[in-house]
Structure 1
Amino acid sequence: MAKDWKVGFIGLGIMGRSMSRNIYRAGFPVTVWNRTPSKMEEAVKWGALTASSPKEVAQNCNLIITMVGDTPDVREVIEGENGVLSGARPGSVLIDMSTISPDATREIAARAAERGVAMLDAPVSGGDIGARNGTLSIMVGGDAEVLEKVRPVLEAMGKSIVHCGPVGAGQTVKACNQILCGLNLLGMVEAFAFAKKAGVDLEKMLQVTTQGAGGSWALSNLGPRIAKGDLAPGFSVRFQQKDLRIVLQEAERMELPLLGTAVVQQLLRSVQAYGGNDDGTHALIRVMEQLGNVSITPKE
């Protein structure tokens, strides 16, 4: 059934525009919708069809993927008046690849099931680089049999596809991923400040540490950007803060202290206070520069 999927893709942001194109390149017909219509023009150039609403996407597709910003956005495009569930046919599959609350995911999945639509939550990690290269890590919650049916579509976007458990489990694992991302980010900018203050060449520091026990995805992919002064977003402060908010809300519900995560969230709030909401998360380096009174990134 792999090639029988007619894929609808909702959300053409930094991640979604590349993910949808990779699905098309894998041989699946793709229909797109985006809240800002101009973003659909690029998709038309590579072969996508367009729809006037999420409802129309669902009416014309049997596999609908959503990749939007936050829990309210997901609810709007799925449960809204012209949302996916108002047009989806029984037997269709809905995959939400956004990062949202696990509780909200379970609620939406229950509503989908009432209409005969199976839902998977499948948030991703890997940033804009992984989205472009089709090498995302995809963590999936939901029915394992449904996952196997749609796996060929997911394989067009990611190299690691792991079934994490029932609906909501994908979002829970994504929360774990964001905890690690935040703390790796903090470790990276502290290492940069330490090296710079001590007079060590940043490129040489990176050459060694990316290959050692302290290496991380952040260090390998964002470290070189910091060294060049490139703070453009692969994943923005705005969305990292949204993800950390979800993490801390879930932690509060479980009465679980997450001290490091809370610190990172507050430091990123300082980035936001200085106008860096839409910069990449590695703009945390600016806060480190202020705290340490050290110039790290090249200035224009």
Structure 2
Amino acid sequence: MKVGFIGLGLMGLPMAQNLRKAGHELFLHSRSGVPADLQGEGMTACGSPAEVASKAEAVITMVPDTPDVEKVLFGENGVASGLSSGKLVIDMSSISPVATKDFAKRIGELGCGYVDAPVSGGDIGAKAATLTIMVGASETDFERARPLFEAMGKTITLVGDVGSGQTCKVANQIIVALNIEAVSEALVFASKAGADPVRVRQALMGGFANSRVLEVHAERMINRTFKPGFRTRLHMKDLEVALSNARALGVSLPGTALAQQMFNSCVAAGELDEDDSIMCKAIERLSGHEITKKS
């Protein structure tokens, strides 16, 4: 398939590379420029989102936030201005479910399909093509997009109509944030009590407390390696989407609000662009103790 890909950041770059490995022809655009190693046979750099849309059958967007998606789609030289009837727009960013429905309506008026398909799995999943992909779309558009998803992900689920993918991703981010907070508390507690957090983590991974956060993020907390797999600023953005939509729905999310406040304290400490496992430092500062290995 001729595929447009807009947004070649930490997640987008390996996702695009996996599409190329699967044999798709790529038309690429990124505000920071298209890397030289993504230009060559079967890969073409484009000067604008409109140019991408004019050349591709399906256009994928993978950018940070709701305003970024709106600008890419409907701004000057945006995707919408390059579309022709019958094409497919697939947004794999993590953004507002409400805005997603509006974007889909506007793209639909141009005679094109729209799919929202946010992902989970971080940069590790993006590189390994094992992402979890949560899809909101019609059955027809989902089937059109499926071959692309299969090149990037392992668990692909049609959750419901447009907007449902983003709603599922918000739920995912709530669970992950609260899990990070819980694992942070547990490791600070264990370390301060004199236990080796390395062995505590190993023991917990064999029981009901196991999770991907315990497997991946706890290791980062223990080894003090906070190079971003998923930046704190992006997780905070997702939690703000959760809290703002919760207010509109009249839903109480007390744990989510607490996790957001923990992230806020990391921002105050200048840790906005670290991995979201950095939340452990907020717990450490409150406790006056840093997670410390025995050896």
TM tier, smaller: over 0.9
| One-letter amino acid matched to 2:93 | S
1:12-52 CA distance string (max 9 Å, x none): 01000000000000111111100011x43242268521000
1:36-93 CA distance string (max 9 Å, x none): 11x4324226852100000000011011000000000000000112110100111100
| Equivalences for residues 35-184 of structure 1 within 5 A | 35-37=31-33, 39-44=34-39, 48-184=43-179
276 and 213 in structure 1: CA distance in 2 versus 1, 3 angstrom threshold: same
CA displacement at 1:211 relative to structure 2:
2.2
TM-score, length-scaled by structure 1: 0.95
Residue 93 of structure 1 contacts residue 119 of structure 1 at CA under 8 Å; is this kept in 2? yes
- The SS at the match of 1:185 is helix
| One-letter amino acid matched to 1:132 | K
Write the distance in 1 (CA, Å) between the matches of 2:40 and 2:71. 27
215 and 45 in structure 1: CA distance in 2 versus 1, 3 angstrom threshold: farther
- The SS at the match of 2:157 is strand
> What count of residue pairs does the alignment treat as equivalent?
293
| One-letter amino acid matched to 1:102 | P
Residue 123 of structure 1 contacts residue 171 of structure 1 at CA under 8 Å; is this kept in 2? yes
Identify which of 249, 255, 260 aligns with 2:250. Answer: 255
After superposition, the CA RMSD in angstroms is 1.2
Identify which of 12, 17, 32 aligns with 2:13. Answer: 17
Residue 33 of structure 1 contacts residue 40 of structure 1 at CA under 8 Å; is this kept in 2? no
TM-score, length-scaled by structure 2: 0.97
1:78-119 CA distance string (max 9 Å, x none): 011211010011110000000111111010101101111100
Residue 196 of structure 2 contacts residue 292 of structure 2 at CA under 8 Å; is this kept in 1? no
Write the distance in 2 (CA, Å) between the matches of 1:205 and 1:46. 50
Residue 5 of structure 2 contacts residue 61 of structure 2 at CA under 8 Å; is this kept in 1? yes
> Match of 2:28?
32
- The SS at the match of 1:138 is strand
Write the distance in 1 (CA, Å) between the matches of 2:67 and 2:73. 10
Write the distance in 2 (CA, Å) between the matches of 1:253 and 1:140. 23
Query: Any stretches of 5+ residues in structure 2 without a counterpart?
Result: none
Write the distance in 2 (CA, Å) between the matches of 1:160 and 1:230. 28
- The SS at the match of 1:244 is helix
CA displacement at 1:163 relative to structure 2:
0.5
Write the distance in 2 (CA, Å) between the matches of 1:291 and 1:20. 41
| One-letter amino acid matched to 2:92 | M
Query: Any stretches of 5+ residues in structure 1 without a counterpart?
Result: none
Write the distance in 2 (CA, Å) between the matches of 1:17 and 1:285. 28
Write the distance in 2 (CA, Å) between the matches of 1:249 and 1:263. 14
Identify which of 219, 222, 228 aligns with 2:217. Answer: 222
| One-letter amino acid matched to 2:46 | A
| One-letter amino acid matched to 2:96 | S
Write the distance in 2 (CA, Å) between the matches of 1:218 and 1:279. 16
1:167-220 CA distance string (max 9 Å, x none): 100000111001101110101100110110011111111111122101111111
Write the distance in 1 (CA, Å) between the matches of 2:51 and 2:42. 18
Residue 232 of structure 1 contacts residue 280 of structure 1 at CA under 8 Å; is this kept in 2? yes
| One-letter amino acid matched to 1:228 | N
| Equivalences for residues 186-265 of structure 1 within 5 A | 186-265=181-260
Residue 186 of structure 1 contacts residue 264 of structure 1 at CA under 8 Å; is this kept in 2? yes
61 and 45 in structure 1: CA distance in 2 versus 1, 3 angstrom threshold: closer
